[in-house]
Structure 1
């Protein structure tokens, strides 16, 4: 595995002697600004610019929080990471915000500021020290130097430990093949790392939070049922930004345990404190299957685990694991039920935009782009007018009793066309979500969110007849390879639909179908979500 010179320099024990002489003979070592890429001739000018232009006083924060050198290093790396993420006003109200060891690793490569932090005490812009006896200053500086050298040694060791742990995690994706003894890439673990990494960025959380159908449903159920949450212990699996945890805290939960394996948990922790819930919500970084919770049982599990086509990403596996290990008997799952629906669709415009488009792009043929194009699930909104039959439920999952084994299945259903179509262009799949107030609550086999809402329950659909959600629908385009065959209204189509993971421990999903259109013929096809 290749490493940069900067990382190998930290880990190379042969370069230890350099740490004793870490101070340069040049007192004017260039410093990169905390809030910009501007390079300043020394620490003092950088600090002055931070105060004047960004209203941030590093020395003042250091003194107010009573930070030692290691904590100051964490503060600097924390500020740089926040600025890098686009936050020019990082929250520094408490040292707990940057107390994680990950802030020992420099955010900025070769950050000269980290080696000049002792100069903060001499910054006349804030400290305003009076002249002291020269001999006393020499003694104090020597003592300070001895202390700093010891702390730099600690810092070096901490960075080395952090990087070694990270490298070991990366190396774990390479494993010996039992059959050949040769090292191979553990694709499942690699995909797992990529999955959690994807949730580290703002865009995906912005998309989910702006999905009012999704977020309003959770908020409405929690706020409308505060009596269920009051004084209860709640577990939020895959908490993201912590929005659901804060809903629960506002509903007077006694303790909310927010767990996420993505680095978004660091921002969630800041958000929790920023909104005054630090004494109620405890954020924990890691997989729910691997972390230690501060309690043995919880009263409620809340999670927004649904993926495209419902089961893409396989997060439900973890939620059910948490239920089996932590939910007290009679405890509540939020949401409580989900159903999967399917309907045939006919939409020549959609087929043209997805398939025929590549046959002539600005007058050029791009036939190679059509390779495997029918093998992938298309996540896109379906026009209600393109849906050719009343949808049917092909899977109902009651979250209080469902098992992981039930997430791999083959189901038989029938649909009846409600209009004439030029041909069957494909299938549209979506899911509905229900929030019931008790672990004993049931929903009808063919439950419809609009009907349940009229009865006073919270529910929502991701189908084409409802407001659009970030899940949209899954469109399964059929590769006919033949001339179009019209089908008349009233035709019954027998369908067998199956879901399974692409491979063991995979977060990808294969959907396989067989169907019988009567006189129009039969078909079968497999599509992948990955």
Structure 2
């Protein structure tokens, strides 16, 4: 699931006032698949009550608000028997509370929002206030399903005329309210103290927002979908095991475009809950509708740790969570949270296992192009660029000849049982050189992924994907000996700036340890440390960052 390494977008995509949300407005001319919606020609896009998401019309927004935020505006309107102006106050009250950061506003009593100050619109040109007749439509439809069509149309026409009259009164009330409030100066209202955040917390929050923003564009999803090794593996496992999915409830964590969700729906799943906190969820929803799966797949926007799901538990969790070096991005943390809170006993994780591998790396050409290059650039000494050059883990594709020993598994991850705490670790490894080398240039790290059909399936931690496929299982590797994937591998270059590499012989054993640790609490970046000892010839320790 790794996005291209790029600068994080500092804008919060869930900011209530984010002007960029306008770019997510769906083209109503293409809304053929919106479930249960037949928008009129004059329908207007409307901003959500609890987010900056823009919906093609009020009905779609209300449906999403019920599913994602468990808030039914029409129900509240009916419970308090609100007239037109009362509904105006309710809407503006909710919007004002959300702007303050309160996404669970108190609606236990009508008195909470029964104040003329809430007649003033919170949003300029709030389309919801101009389309409140749609609420009346929904409310009336729920209680009059048995009435004839002609009678229903007559009722709606009467309601519309009433609403038009009420709206004229509303315009006058708003103008009066605004005039009164504009007379008060800003200094008359004491400023509320703003809670300060630590620099680290702010940095992590910005990076987190940038992470989800990076998944809102087509480019990364195109890259992932065109990675046939990755996408074919998920498709093949799901289609080859339709018996596991038929009639089951599936959750797709980090659904992206919705491709895995649609695989599951086509395989016979009874319900698929597709969850993503990126704006890509809007396109996923369209993809679902256009491919005829609106009655099976429900798209939910938000972090899995925060959203409300329509079911208490699921039978299967499917997710493509893997990042560079496997654990970059820390998305697995969220998948394991979903497992612990929603997966039914005996439920299935897809994929079910991954393993991390390490091998000694030799590539003088790459070292020359990446390091030596800076010593003479068009005849100029740019060696200042070498500062900290050995501190970064490099995502690149290695060739088989660059790996000079059989790789060693240093961390098996059984997805049904592994915990978040185990993702920070220090593990030992041992490899034996298969050939003579002039010196060790560094280390190469990759991961293998396996799809077992049962949480109780026997699995060998040293399993090789090519061997597993011969036995009829679905598996793939991101290593250098098979077709390259978009993950490539992580190369950790050894720092030889102060000491020359030591020549080594075939058969020499390298013993070492490798540690993975988040750069800081809540961060999606990784710090990797490797210690190694070569038969007493060389003993080293070095750290790299993957960010």
Q: TM-score, normalising length from structure 1?
A: 0.71
1:187 Cα shift?
A: 2.0
Residue aligning to 1:485: 502
- Distance (whole Å) between structure 2 residues aligned to residue 284 and residue 57 of structure 1: 21
Cα gap change, 1:491 to 1:529, in 2 (>3 Å): same
Residue aligning to 2:46: 74
- Distance (whole Å) between structure 1 residues aligned to residue 304 and residue 16 of structure 2: 33
Counterpart of 1:186 in 2: which secondary structure?
Answer: helix
- Distance (whole Å) between structure 1 residues aligned to residue 318 and residue 385 of structure 2: 42
- Distance (whole Å) between structure 1 residues aligned to residue 366 and residue 283 of structure 2: 40
- Distance (whole Å) between structure 2 residues aligned to residue 152 and residue 386 of structure 1: 77
1:342 correspondence with 2:306: no
Residue aligning to 2:530: 513
Query: Paired residue for 1:353, among 369, 372, 376?
Result: 369
Query: Paired residue for 1:456, among 450, 472, 478?
Result: 472
1:147 Cα shift?
A: 3.7
Residue aligning to 1:43: none
- Distance (whole Å) between structure 1 residues aligned to residue 398 and residue 519 of structure 2: 25
- Distance (whole Å) between structure 2 residues aligned to residue 464 and residue 370 of structure 1: 27
Cα gap change, 1:525 to 1:74, in 2 (>3 Å): same
Query: Paired residue for 2:233, among 207, 211, 217?
Result: 217
Residue aligning to 2:255: 239
Query: Paired residue for 1:96, among 60, 63, 80?
Result: 60
Query: Paired residue for 1:250, among 257, 263, 266?
Result: 266
1:332 correspondence with 2:348: yes
Counterpart of 2:196 in 1: which secondary structure?
Answer: strand
- Equivalent residues in 2 for 1:256-405 (5 A)? 256-405=272-421
Q: Higher mean Cα deviation, 362-371 or 217-226?
A: 362-371
Q: Is the 8 A contact 1:339 1:433 kept in 2?
A: yes
- Distance (whole Å) between structure 2 residues aligned to residue 472 and residue 292 of structure 1: 36
Counterpart of 2:532 in 1: which secondary structure?
Answer: strand
Counterpart of 1:266 in 2: which secondary structure?
Answer: helix
Counterpart of 2:46 in 1: which secondary structure?
Answer: helix
1:383 Cα shift?
A: 1.1
1:227 Cα shift?
A: 0.1
- Distance (whole Å) between structure 2 residues aligned to residue 172 and residue 224 of structure 1: 58
1:185 Cα shift?
A: 5.4
- Equivalent residues in 2 for 1:196-211 (5 A)? 196-211=212-227
Deviations 1:472-508 (CA, angstroms, capped at 9, x unpaired): 0000000022123211111100011111111111111
Cα gap change, 1:151 to 1:325, in 2 (>3 Å): farther
1:413 Cα shift?
A: 1.1
- Distance (whole Å) between structure 1 residues aligned to residue 324 and residue 30 of structure 2: 46
- Distance (whole Å) between structure 1 residues aligned to residue 418 and residue 274 of structure 2: 23
- Distance (whole Å) between structure 1 residues aligned to residue 512 and residue 232 of structure 2: 34
- Distance (whole Å) between structure 1 residues aligned to residue 417 and residue 267 of structure 2: 26
- Distance (whole Å) between structure 2 residues aligned to residue 344 and residue 420 of structure 1: 12
- Distance (whole Å) between structure 2 residues aligned to residue 9 and residue 55 of structure 1: 23
Cα gap change, 1:206 to 1:488, in 2 (>3 Å): same
- Distance (whole Å) between structure 2 residues aligned to residue 68 and residue 277 of structure 1: 25
Query: Paired residue for 2:428, among 404, 407, 412?
Result: 412
Structure 2: gaps (5+ residues): 1-10, 48-52, 66-91, 96-122, 132-159, 178-191
1:285 Cα shift?
A: 0.5
Cα gap change, 1:507 to 1:55, in 2 (>3 Å): closer
Q: Is the 8 A contact 1:342 1:427 kept in 2?
A: yes
Cα gap change, 1:470 to 1:55, in 2 (>3 Å): closer
1:526 correspondence with 2:543: yes
- Distance (whole Å) between structure 2 residues aligned to residue 174 and residue 479 of structure 1: 43
Q: Is the 8 A contact 2:39 2:57 kept in 1?
A: no
Query: Relative contact order, CA 8 A, sep 6+: which one is greater?
Result: 2
Cα gap change, 1:175 to 1:371, in 2 (>3 Å): same
Q: Is the 8 A contact 2:46 2:61 kept in 1?
A: no
Residue aligning to 2:242: 226
- Distance (whole Å) between structure 2 residues aligned to residue 172 and residue 274 of structure 1: 48
Residue aligning to 1:13: none
Cα gap change, 1:301 to 1:238, in 2 (>3 Å): same
Counterpart of 1:72 in 2: which secondary structure?
Answer: coil
Cα gap change, 1:449 to 1:149, in 2 (>3 Å): farther
Residue aligning to 2:196: 175
Residue aligning to 1:499: 516
Deviations 1:280-333 (CA, angstroms, capped at 9, x unpaired): 000001111111111111000000000000000001111111111111110000
Count of aligned residue pairs for this structure pair: 419
Deviations 1:395-440 (CA, angstroms, capped at 9, x unpaired): 1011011111110111111100001111000000000000000000
1:251 Cα shift?
A: 0.3
Q: Is the 8 A contact 1:65 1:95 kept in 2?
A: no
1:191 correspondence with 2:207: yes
